[in-house]
Structure 1
Amino acid sequence: MNETITAMGGYEALALNVIKAIVFLILGYFFAGFASRIVRDRLGKVERLDQTLAVFFSSLVRWGVLAVVVIAVLQLVGFQATSLVAVLGAASLAIGLALQGTLSDVASGVMLIIFRPYRLGDYVEVGGTAGTVKEINLFVTELATPDNVQIIMPNSKARSSVITNYSAHPTRRVDITFGVDYSDDADKAIELITAIATSDERVLKDPEPWVRVVNLGESSVDITARLWCNSADYWDLKFHMTKAVKEAFDKDGISIPYPHRVEVVKKAS
């Protein structure tokens, strides 16, 4: 009878520890998120600290707190610290092999933070996928495409891919090619394009606008304008120049020809 009572007491104690462990795990999960947000908000207010680092450190705090919570929960249900260390040591090789991709993502995330090929808010193209960087954490980089589609990319893939950062430099060059008819005055077309470019405040004076005939195509004389502007003005300037030059050509009688070919038939002598 005493043994039965003792066994029942042991089961009750175990059940109580399991309930405590579940409650502790839930509370720990929410505390990890809370601590992560606190770190992100506090570091985000430091002017000299890059926001990319703030996001990364907040992610590091979250996963660190979760690791401590899991260890504490295991101890609460009966795993002693020494036994836990032994188990972890014995399983480290198997876990490392099973999670080598995840560990590679973590290592790549650290390298991305150290060398910072891109930062939060940069518009980049990584491995053929383009978008604005929204978040960099321990495991993944989150991008948002221009049409606001979320792209989740493992850090290991991002680090091993070719990265094109369109926001890295403060200025960019806009290249626009216009085709005019062979019967039109190319010099007049160049003057119109140059006048429109120099009158736009977004076009930088240094380097000055460059407008030249670059090719004699099958259907048109191709004139390219190379204009420097601030990176933030790139697309607005490109769209504006395309429309403004078309309207100026229409007003001055310069035509933009449709693709066509002239067929020459030779008669036999």
Structure 2
Amino acid sequence: MDHMSIFIPLAVNAAKALIVLIIGWYVAGALSALIKKRILANERIDDTIGGFAASIVRWLVLLVTLIAVLQLFGIEATSLVAVLGAGTLAIGLALQGTLSDIAAGVMLIIFRPYKVGQFVSIGGTSGTVKDLNIFVTELVTGDNVQIIMPNGQAWGAVITNFSAHPKRRLDLTFGIDYGDDADKAIQIILDTANADERVHKDPEPWVRLTNLGDSSVDLGVRLWCDAGDYWELKFHMLKSVKEAFDAGGISIPYPHQVEIQKSE
């Protein structure tokens, strides 16, 4: 009978705890999703803040849920705080990586080296930023591969943001044969660039003879365009200049060596 009097309250508390956990988990997810949706709907607030704020709310609700569950088993919040206070050093050492990720996440939000939707390279890993939450940064590569990077690692790495500025410079090099007319080739490239509306007129297209290589005369090209047009413009210029060279009698030489024999 004594066993039953102990077991029944424990079973009741366990059932209550399970219900509280389910409700808390649902509320945490629903509330964080609502906050993220509201922030994303507001054009005056950066989308990056939405994911970060939603992440903070979710974990706070889960923490409150955990405290409520512990109280069902007779563990008071004040006692829990006292225990955590006594074990602060041990917890800090055990969770130093997690705590550094949280701190790094706050720094990333404050200084904003990248935002959701921008294409970046973090420590040599490239992708489009899909989410920045309290613990990790999520990237998606061009072939739709998900990359999860701890915020501490992201904050401590070299960050290259290809989308930070509205326009970019496209650098190309075209090699022509030593027997071709360099001025004619330069004019062909300029005409091709000026015919494309994506190429900015200010700064104007720049084409110069930049190198006398082993097998070719190299023409350097610098074009300014909107950041979103960078790759399509690059592919278009490579194809269009090749076709224009063919039509104009300008050859793109293969790497080769010339052997000269001297008579003795």
Same fold at TM > 0.5: yes
Corresponding position of 2:170 = 174
Corresponding position of 2:83 = 87
* Pairing partner for 2:134 from 131, 135, 138: 138
How far off is 1:163 after superposition? 0.3
- Code of the aligned partner of 2:206: W
* Pairing partner for 1:29 from 20, 25, 29: 25
How far off is 1:267 after superposition? 3.5
TM-score, structure 2 normalization:
0.98
How far off is 1:82 after superposition? 2.3
Corresponding position of 2:228 = 232
Q: Distance in 1 between matches of 2:212 and 2:76?
A: 81
Q: Deviations over 1:150-202 (max 9, x none)?
A: 11101001000000000000000001100000000000000000001111100
Corresponding position of 2:55 = 59
Q: Distance in 2 between matches of 1:265 and 1:177?
A: 32
Q: Give unmatched runs, 5+ long, in structure 1.
A: none
TM-score, structure 1 normalization:
0.96
Q: Distance in 2 between matches of 1:188 and 1:266?
A: 34
Query: Helix, strand or coil: the match of 2:139?
Result: strand
Q: Deviations over 1:3-42 (max 9, x none)?
A: x44x522321122101111221122112110110011111
Q: Distance in 2 between matches of 1:10 and 1:220?
A: 90
Corresponding position of 1:223 = 219
Q: Distance in 2 between matches of 1:14 and 1:126?
A: 50
Q: Distance in 2 between matches of 1:267 and 1:74?
A: 98
How far off is 1:210 after superposition? 0.3
- Code of the aligned partner of 1:17: N
Aligned identity (percent) is 63
Q: Deviations over 1:55-94 (max 9, x none)?
A: 1100010001000000110111111222212111122221
**Superposed CA RMSD:** 1.0
Q: Distance in 2 between matches of 1:81 and 1:132?
A: 42
- Code of the aligned partner of 2:78: T
* Residue 205 in structure 1 maps to residue 170 in structure 2: no
Pairing 1:140-155 to 2, within 5 Å after superposition: 140-155=136-151
Query: Helix, strand or coil: the match of 1:229?
Result: strand
Pairing 1:228-267 to 2, within 5 Å after superposition: 228-267=224-263
Q: Deviations over 1:99-133 (max 9, x none)?
A: 10010000000000000000000000000000000
Corresponding position of 2:160 = 164
Pairing 1:4-23 to 2, within 5 Å after superposition: 4-5=1-2, 7-23=3-19
Matched length: 264
Corresponding position of 1:193 = 189
Query: Helix, strand or coil: the match of 2:20?
Result: helix
Q: Distance in 2 between matches of 1:164 and 1:51?
A: 20
